[in-house]
């Protein structure tokens, strides 16, 4: 079995590039963020660190069909299957593609997932025991 070559970038350099990609995303520079996330996918051995960012940047850059594919692919993993933010991203991408009924159903799933995250908290902010 052939071993993949290690990344030419250090962990710190990859983390810096990832931070820059998220900053571009937050500053509304969606296409640049998308391009940087694409490059990061190629150099980052831990894909879970960058694929969610690629997914969101694809959606924000107007690549909703690609965002759907990325979301659905990520959601095959138990780690991401019930992730509310990824579910919301999928709902928005479906809506952008004109698939409103699927988008509504997915949004309802998002609301359920969000609710389950907050159901362990009572009004005073204390976790239930």
**DSSP helix/strand/coil, 77:** coil
> Could you list the residue range(s) of the whole structural domain that residue 79 is in?
11-118
Question: Could you give the CA distance from residue 31 to residue 41 in angstroms, rounded to a whole number?
Answer: 15
pLDDT one-digit tens code per residue, 89-127: 999 999 999 999 999 999 999 999 999 888 754 344 444
- The pLDDT of residue 97 is 98
With pLDDT > 90 as the criterion, what percentage of the chain qualifies? 70
What's the CATH code of the domain at 89?
A: 1.25.40.10
Nearest CA to 22 among 7, 37, 11, 12? 37
The span from the first CA to the last CA of the chain, in angstroms, equals 50
- The pLDDT of residue 6 is 61
pLDDT one-digit tens code per residue, 2-32: 444 566 788 898 889 999 999 999 999 999 9
User: If pLDDT is split at 50, 70 and 90, which confidence band does 128 have?
Assistant: very low
- The pLDDT of residue 2 is 42
pLDDT one-digit tens code per residue, 51-72: 999 999 999 999 999 999 999 9
- The pLDDT of residue 26 is 95
Q: Which two tokens stand for residue 94?
A: 């479906």
- The secondary structure of residue 51, as a DSSP letter, is H
Residue 95 maps to a domain: yes
Residue 32 maps to a domain: yes
Residue 27 maps to a domain: yes
Residue 59 maps to a domain: yes
Residue 2 maps to a domain: no
**DSSP helix/strand/coil, 121:** strand
- The pLDDT of residue 22 is 95
Number of domains in the chain: 1
Residue 124 maps to a domain: no
């Amino acid at each position: 079995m052939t071993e993949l070559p290690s990344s030419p970038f250090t962990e710190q350099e990859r983390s810096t590039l990832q931070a820059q990609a998220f900053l571009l995303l937050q500053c509304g520079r969606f296409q640049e963020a998308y391009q940087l996330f694409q490059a990061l996918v190629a150099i980052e051995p831990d894909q879970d660190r960058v694929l969610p960012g690629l997914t969101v940047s694809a959606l924000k850059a107007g690549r909703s069909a690609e965002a759907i594919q990325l979301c659905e692919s990520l959601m095959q993993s138990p780690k991401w299957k019930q992730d509310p933010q990824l579910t919301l991203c999928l709902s928005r991408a479906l809506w952008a593609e004109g698939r409103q009924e699927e988008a509504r159903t997915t949004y309802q799933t998002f609301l359920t997932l969000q609710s389950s995250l907050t159901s362990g908290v009572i009004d005073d902010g204390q976790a239930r025991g």
